[in-house]
Chains A and B, each alone.
Chain A
Amino acid sequence: MQPIRRRRLPTLLAAAFAVLALSTAGAAAKDGVVIAMGIEPAGLDPTIAAPAAIGQVTWQNVFEGLTRIDRDGKVRPQLAEAWDIATDGKTYTFHLRSGVRFHNGVAFDAATAKFTLDRARGEKSTNPQKQFFETIERIEAPDAQTLVLSLKQPTGNLLYWLGWPTAVMLEPSSAEDDRTHPIGTGPFVFDGWRQGVSVDLKRNEAYWDAARRPQLSSATFRFIADAQAQAAAVQSGEVDAVPEFGAPELFASFKDDPRLETVVGDTELKVVAGLNLRKPPLDDVRVRQALMMAIDRQVVIEGAWSGFGTPIGSHYTPNDPGYVDLTGRLAYDPAKARALLAEAGHADGLDLTIKVPQMTYATRSAEVLQALLAEVGVRLTIVPTEFPAKWIDEVFKRHDFDMTIVAHAEPLDIGIYARPDYYFGYRNPQFDRVLGEAEAATDTARRLELYGEAQRMLADDVPALYLFVMPKLGVWKAGLKGLWANEPIPSNDLTEVRWDD
């Protein structure tokens, strides 16, 4: 008996494995897509909380705005098909599209649009970009298809801001539940959220825009935190795409795989080492300039992100309209940096601490900064902190730091330097004035010129060490078309995604 039994065991095991393997194969249908994301959204309503992951699941897929931002970062009409701007730049009249319905059947009209904007700017609003709506003084809905916004001052960015995930249109009776069950006007309908696992969407068969009706019948966003696990999932074919792959050092390994396509694009994530200008020695602009000149950005990019990434010289990305390349402004020059430090009275060197969150890009960048700054006599002590909770408490709220390092995710957020109590502690009335004028300017050329001036001021004043823009490392199955290569706004717009036969 025994010999037979012994021989049977491996056979049985092999059979069991085969059955299991068969039962998992062939799961992916050709007209559906499985997208992997590193971070699970905290709720599914982008108008009440900040995490970018919320918009990356819902924006343009489930929810739409009066305007939208396309893959090139351009503003386009969406639920508003056209608009008139009064000559003083203070009245916007939107002509809303007719025949648009929310996923629960309720019609979209000027009243729902007014409700959405009032909710975002109201007293109880937790909208993460509430300042966008502060320029609005009065909202009127003279008829179902017309929405009139009267502004406190001309606001050149209004149409752009209305295209953001934070400004999507909600339906009044379902708005409270959008957090767990989003209802919008978009090309995909919410089809379930298995917390910790995935969000499922299915095609909106009644989508209003016949020209942009999606080809995918369904889409699944799967949340895989670990980069190794992301790589395994895309290599084994369980997910079709990882639009933002988390481990640059593994990215090269996809290149030789004929089943996969890799695309390196740009994000809006600006990696900056913020400085605390409230206290010595970083209140001295010479010290800050010296620190900037001690940094070889290419070395940082190499060490932190395997050479992927674009160096920046100010708080602005090459994606943004009006970008000026300022990386040559305080270019890498350790000798000059030393001289400037000596001039500021730090000939014997300087001791600084940097509070570093646990994210890979931050810890690696900090180590490179430490090595580079040591070359000019700055002894940098790395103090680990935890993002977001601890970092927000220590650095963002209590300003208890010398240096820190995080990636700023919001597109076109140069305005943070004009906020009075922002964590850098940067106060420059001239900057505030230029930025105010830029935001009010309705003439595009003039606005971009002013933004250029603002970028230059930051490059000279160095409230933060401007390092690099995070790349968007995309990897997906060959044959999958239509995903965005760049990310002018955090998103995974699936409207144009399809399979090539």
Chain B
Amino acid sequence: MLLRRLIGLLLTLLAVSLLLFLVMNLLPGDPAAVMLGTSARPDTLAAMREAMGLDRPLPVRFVVWLGGVLTGDFGTSITYGTPVAELIRDRAAVTLPLAGLAILLSILIALPLGLVSAARRGRRADAVAGLFAQLGLALPNFWIGLLLVLVFASELHWLPSGGFPGWSAGLGPALSALVLPTVALALPQAAVLTRVTRAALLDTLAEDFVRTARAKGLTRREALLRHALPNAMVPILTILGLQFSFLVAGAVLVENVFDLPGLGRLVYQALLQRDAVVVQGTVLCFTALVVVVNFLVDLAYLRFDPRLRAAS
């Protein structure tokens, strides 16, 4: 089963790389013209295309690029002039911790809130949690980001307004640069997760086995934590898996607001400059990441749902 999934993963990546390559090269806009701007002349354009390796036929370029990727060489950025693998590595060191922290924070907020509002359905705690979820869903993450900057950076000066000093500057400064973006990213996610947790718990609370658990003498709280919660984990995990891909993509906006040198901004900038090599490499890594995370979520299902274990 693992082998089949692995082959599927590789085929997905191959298809994605071919699609990406075609799209990037069919987009209107010539990277050589971008680099020469409004002063471009036919002779300098031709020289620039040659210097960028764009004078070779499309299939040749694809095979060369793919061959490089298989050996870990993602090519050289045509705007920066530096290896794409290095660019991706440097940027992933911002985006991945950011996405990870945001997931963590959203779980830390959403699970307790979801539990409380399911346990106290219709009471004041439920209403408060509901209000939070409504607000979190209604406010876009970049706007929350702007608000956080205004309060915590421009007014209170507690945290930097943006930018990233790099991990080499020490854990303190690096993490402090990630605090506000993490909160901005996590709040809308937490809102979704709160609602899903509450709904999933309410569903399982209505099940027979919970009634049985109560009948054999467990308190409401014990029944909720021991029986309802584990059974509600499958829908919660599904949403978490989806959210991870969404977080990595949603980081583009937040990275812009906080001026973070992450993967999202790398792709966006490269797309504007038609730096196809960078876009291809980065999106390929994104895809690989999302596929792997989905795979991990599938594995986690097995942990929480014995029925799936038996089936496989």
Contact = CB atoms under 8 A, between A and B. Distances in A.
B203 interface: no
Interface in B120-140: none
B298 interface: no
A445 interface: no
Interface string A220-235: 0011111011001101
Contact of A21 (B176, B265, B266): B176
Contact size range, A: 35 or more
Given A50-B39, A197-B164, A389 B146 contact: no
A229 B162 contact: yes
A33 B34 CA distance: 31
A228 B172 contact: no
A346 interface: no
Interface stretch (B9-17, B97-105, B230-238, B256-264): B256-264
Nearest to A408: B38
B39 A389 contact: no
B161 A238 contact: yes
Nearest to B168: A194
A392 B259 contact: no
Contact of A180 (B81, B153, B165, B176): B81
Contacts of B158: 17, 20-21
Main secondary structure of the interface of B (DSSP, over half): helix
A12 to B, nearest CB: 14
A444 interface: no
B85 to A, nearest CB: 13
B173 A23 contact: yes
Contact of A196 (B81, B160, B265): B265
Nearest to A389: B29
B29 A224 contact: no
Contact of A43 (B33, B80, B153): B80
A392 B30 contact: yes
B64 interface: no
Contact of A388 (B37, B91, B153, B161): B37
Contacts of A17: 158-159
A233 B162 contact: yes
Nearest to A39: B269
A40 interface: yes
A24 B160 contact: yes
A373 interface: no
A409 B28 CA distance: 23
Interface stretch (B44-52, B186-194, B208-216, B218-226): B44-52
B29 A236 contact: no
A226 B257 contact: yes
Contact of A396 (B33, B35, B51, B146): B33
Contacts of B56: none
Given A42-B35, A236-B160, A224 B259 contact: yes
B269 A392 contact: no
Contacts of A388: 29, 33-34, 37, 272-273
B37 A50 contact: yes
Contact of A389 (B34, B43, B47, B175): B34
Contacts of B157: 21, 236-237
- Most chain B CB within a 10 A radius of its CB, from A23, A196, A392: A196
Interface stretch (A118-126, A322-330, A476-484): A118-126
A49 B36 contact: yes
Interface in B139-158: 146, 149-150, 153-154, 157-158
A4 interface: no
B256 A226 contact: yes
A125 B44 CA distance: 6
B179 interface: yes
- Most chain B CB within a 10 A radius of its CB, from A19, A222, A224, A394: A224
A393 B29 contact: yes
- Most chain A CB within a 10 A radius of its CB, from B150, B154, B164, B259: B259
Contact of A393 (B33, B41, B79, B154): B33
A195 interface: yes
A128 interface: yes
A42 B273 contact: yes
Interface in A122-146: 123-131
A23 B163 CA distance: 15
Nearest to B80: A195
B70 interface: no
- Most chain A CB within a 10 A radius of its CB, from B27, B38, B150: B38
B195 interface: no
B179 A20 contact: yes
B161 A232 contact: yes
Nearest to B43: A130
B296 to A, nearest CB: 28
Nearest to B91: A196
B73 interface: no
A128 B172 contact: no
20 contacts: A20-B175, A48-B51, A50-B37, A51-B35, A126-B35, A126-B51, A128-B36, A197-B166, A226-B257, A228-B257, A229-B162, A229-B259, A232-B150, A235-B154, A236-B153, A236-B157, A238-B160, A238-B163, A389-B27, A396-B38
Given A179-B81, A195-B87, A228-B257, 8 more contacts: A23-B173, A124-B51, A126-B51, A180-B81, A196-B87, A196-B91, A229-B256, A392-B38
- Give me the 8 closest cross-chain CB pairs, A-B, nearest first: A389-B29, A196-B261, A50-B37, A20-B176, A232-B161, A23-B172, A42-B79, A126-B48
